[in-house]
Structure 1
Amino acid sequence: MHNILFFGDSLTAGYGLKDAKSQSLPALIQQKLDGEGLAYHVINGGVSGDTTSGGLYRLDYWINRPTAIFVLELGINDIIRGIPPQTTANNLQTIIDRVKQKHPHVKIAVMGMEIPDFIPGTFAAQFKAIFRKIAEANNLAFLPFYLQGVAGVAHLNLPDRLHPNAEGYKVIAENVWPVIKGLL
């Protein structure tokens, strides 16, 4: 049995879902793996509100077990807190470096994040560019926008309009699954 670790924030944890153990993205990916008879165990390493620096702080705990695939979904809370894009990029790169050091044969997927178009200026563009640059520089699997098809779609989000609901996670799972399947 190989482990797939989803390491992220509330968008990984399944914040606000009635049953995150069955409705979150990691749970849905586990269901897809099981449905195809693939011997992988998905671990949900999501913590609501986490930033890239918080991820660095708790990383050792999560990578202290064999990991075949590491799915990195962090960064949106950095921008909410006004953390400079370069700091976010440095933290993401450090996370990747530490995961590779601990597990030299691990396959890594980066989940890209975008901020809404109504936030103007170079800050938004710099933030969006982080994820592609990190993925390309490290030759990693990459999904450009984790919330593609869900962000801004009212019926796919909780009332807070920030977090997907169970139906929203189904859309995300359909977007993420090809990336994961390509790493198996």
Structure 2
Amino acid sequence: MKILSGLGTRDSGLGFVSLLMLSAGACSRRDAGSTPSSDGASRAALESRVPSPEARPPLRVLFIGTSLTAGLGLDPDSAYPARVQRKADSAGIAIQAVNAGVSGETSAGALRRIDWVLREPADVVVLETGANDGLRALQVDSTRANLVAIVRRIRAKLPEARVVLVQMEAPPNLGQRYTAAFHAMFPDVARTEGVTLAPFLLQGVAGIGRLNQADGIHPNDAGERIVTETVWKAIEPALRAATAATAAGTG
């Protein structure tokens, strides 16, 4: 939005005097004719008190996660949180994406640092954790307890924030029993804690060589584009709801 500068030259001053004279004439003609309706005046006064979209601060979206969120092996601007911010901008939703991803972190690590991460307010919190628990075949019950504790800490610290829990999966070589229990843990936590469940973060990317880096785990640039679409579709409703709540003064 352009910001008009103040008057700064003699010619501008003359123009300003002329503008005052024209305005005075216009006011005289209006006074001689009719006066604005009280309804119109009331409406104008009401509209003047409603902040414009440009005046509202951007939504703060906090991404808590592992190396998959941090964007290991990618430029920071290529990690999915930064890409989501650009998609939001294109969609007319002003957000500030905060990437709080930590490489190698388990759900226990996320729980240990959650209070520190939540020092600043957030309107939407996206939680991606548990992947490293699965890689290490940690007890599902322990991971579940950590997820529940993290969500409850978020609720306690940021009661108005919208929380999105990202589905993660365990490697298939750990056996069907473990992988099934690991998979079921996420929708169970989302349901019992009343948060939104996003699809598997690496949906359409995991196991596809051309979409991953040499380690076969972390997406490359092409894979990260797909991850971004997955996350965006999951959190867009929360972003729009938070925007509406902020505009109404209830968020």
Which 5+ residue runs of structure 1 have no aligned equivalent? none
**Pairing of 1:126-165 with structure 2 (within 5 A):** 126-165=181-220
1:9 aligned to 46, 51, 66, which one? 66
Contact 2:135 2:171 in 1 (8 A): no
Per-residue CA deviation, residues 95-137 of structure 1 (Å, 9 max, x unaligned), is 0000000011110111101123343231111111111101111
Contact 1:131 1:144 in 2 (8 A): no
**Is 1:52 aligned with 2:141?**
no
Aligned residues: 182
Using the alignment, how far apart are the partners of 1:82 and 1:178 within structure 2?
A: 30
Contact 1:9 1:47 in 2 (8 A): yes
1:90 aligned to 124, 132, 145, which one? 145
Percent identity over paired residues: 39
Aligned residue type for 1:3: R
Contact 2:106 2:131 in 1 (8 A): yes
Moved over 4 A (4+): none
Structure with the larger RCO, 1 or 2 (CA within 8 Å, 6+ apart): 1
Q: CA deviation at 1:178?
A: 1.4
Counterpart in the other structure of 2:26: none
Per-residue CA deviation, residues 56-87 of structure 1 (Å, 9 max, x unaligned), is 11111211111110000000101222320000
**Is 1:81 aligned with 2:136?**
yes
Deviates more, 1:123-132 or 1:136-145: 136-145
Contact 2:199 2:234 in 1 (8 A): no
| Higher-strand-fraction structure | 1
Aligned residue type for 1:60: D
Counterpart in the other structure of 1:114: 169
Counterpart in the other structure of 2:231: 176
What TM-score results when the alignment is normalised by the length of structure 2? 0.70
Per-residue CA deviation, residues 120-178 of structure 1 (Å, 9 max, x unaligned), is 23111111111110111122111231110000010110010011111111001111111
Contact 1:132 1:144 in 2 (8 A): no
Aligned residue type for 2:219: P
Contact 1:71 1:109 in 2 (8 A): yes
Using the alignment, how far apart are the partners of 2:238 and 2:107 within structure 1?
A: 24
Deviates more, 1:116-125 or 1:106-115: 116-125
**Is 1:65 aligned with 2:124?**
no
- Alignment root-mean-square deviation, CA: 1.1
Using the alignment, how far apart are the partners of 2:93 and 2:134 within structure 1?
A: 36
Contact 1:6 1:72 in 2 (8 A): yes
